[in-house]
Amino acid sequence: MGLSIVSRYLIREIAQAWLAVTLVLTAVLFTNRLVRYLGDAASGSLPGDMVLQLMGYKALSYLALAIPGAFFLGIILALGRLYRDSEMAALGACGIGPRELYKALILLAAPLALLIAWLALEVGPWAAREGREAEQLASEAVEIQAIRPGRFIQSGQADGMFYIERFSEDGERMRNVFLQTRQGGEQILLAANEGYVEADPDTGDQYLVLLDGRRYDGDPGGGRWREYEYKVHGVRIAEGEPPDVRVRRDGMPTRELLASDDLRDISEFQWRVSMPIMVITLGLMAIPLSRSSPRDGRYGRLLLAVLVYAIYSNGLTVSQGWLEDGTVPPWIGLWPVHLLVAAIAVVWLSRQYGLLRPRRRPDTGGEGAT
């Protein structure tokens, strides 16, 4: 059985408004991140050719968060225009009520919820992991590019300086490396045939990793030096910013979150599942919220929708914090927020269409009828 003309019309109007709002929200979310990346590229702390790649990863990780809100606002805009132009009044006169509206909404929201579930549970975490790895590689590349062969380079973290003779042909390895530093009041000299710069994934610190070399420890003028041979030796040359624990958790595969008993992992899993649920609950809320008269302002309902979405998302954030702190058990978690929004939507819709009003019994004339 095919779709009716009205259903196709409603789906088209909502889809067009949703796509437009999605583009706007995505641009807003990306602006701050793009400015940061461009600033890093201009200062030389990020290779310029990495900006688009990093933005692509951020786009994939942001979509699951942006689409539910965009879908909600798209419904408000589309149905609000129909009410304002009296098209909904004409449809109501033809016997088309909330049932037809929800039919069109479900046909659009169901596949969209599946898409968001895939983005939130699989694609988003993968993009977060790949983006973090790309940032580390970019940081290492910048560190290597800052090194000039044939020159002594001061290292504040190592409390000394190092020198390299030349780079390998691919530019990733250093040949004939010398490092002078101090540790515990002693002078330390390191010489190696080969070396490279590596970032610690947990701390972000930069290390000069030396291969196949010798180490000399002693006190200048003391005459007593100790000599060691090593295969691998690392020296910290730059201190990185501690990575955000939440960012690492955002990149965890969903199957690992499911297998974990950590409350923070459980809250992260419930947050991901909340994204497709929001599509359904916000869709329920959108139809009664969008109902207005032709005399109402163009953006009155839109501002109210933004307020509803802000309260909803903040409620999820607060509940997530309570779950992480152990204030609420995992079986409660974030679910009451979704249930509350859905209940308000059902009650609101029922009041608008008189579904909660007591039915009047037909007058049969009473006992005094003749």
Q: Tell me the per-residue pLDDT of 328-349, one tens digit each, with 9 for 90 and over.
A: 999 999 999 999 999 998 888 8
Domain assignment of residue 365, yes or no? no
Task: State yes or no: pLDDT of 301 exceeds 70.
Answer: yes
Q: Binning pLDDT at 50, 70 and 90, where does residue 152 land?
A: confident
Structure tokens at 188: 């330390």
The pair of three-digit structure tokens given for residue 79, joined into one six-digit string: 């149905």
Calculate mean pLDDT across residues 209-234.
83
Mean residue pLDDT across the chain = 80
Q: How far is CA 223 from CA 182, 217, 251, in A?
A: 17, 11, 53
> Which of 216, 238, 260 is the last residue before a domain boundary?
238
Is 257 found in the same domain as 137? yes
Q: Residue 322: its pLDDT value, please?
A: 94
What is the model's pLDDT at position 99? 74
pLDDT of residue 139: 66
pLDDT over 80 at 306, yes or no? yes
- For residue 44, the surrounding DSSP H or E stretch is none
What is the rounded distance in angstroms from the CA atom of residue 216 to the CA atom of residue 211?
A: 15
Answer whether 165's CB lies under 8 Å from 175's CB.
Answer: yes
Given CA atoms 174, 177, 180, 184 in this order, what sign does their dihedral have? positive
- Pair 86, 176 in one domain: no
- Do 311 and 181 lie in a common domain? no
Confidence band, pLDDT 50/70/90 cuts, at residue 245 = very low
Within the chain, residue ranges assigned H as helices are: 5-43, 51-84, 87-93, 98-118, 124-145, 245-250, 254-259, 263-290, 300-325, 335-352
Domain containing 202: what range? 158-238
230 and 253 part of one domain: no
How far apart (Å, rounded) are the C-alpha atoms in residues 367 and 370? 8
Is the pLDDT reported for residue 148 higher than 90?
no
Q: Are residues 205 and 174 in the same domain?
A: yes
pLDDT tens readout for residues 33-76: 888 888 877 766 677 777 888 888 888 888 888 899 999 999 99
**Lateral strand order in the sheet of 186-199:** 152-155, 160-167, 174-183, 186-199, 206-218, 225-238
- Domain annotation covers residue 30: yes
**pLDDT tens per residue across span 90-145:** 777 776 766 777 788 888 899 999 999 999 999 999 998 888 878 776 766 655 55
Which of 178, 212, 238 corresponds to the end of one domain? 238
Task: Tell me the Cα Rg of the chain.
Answer: 31
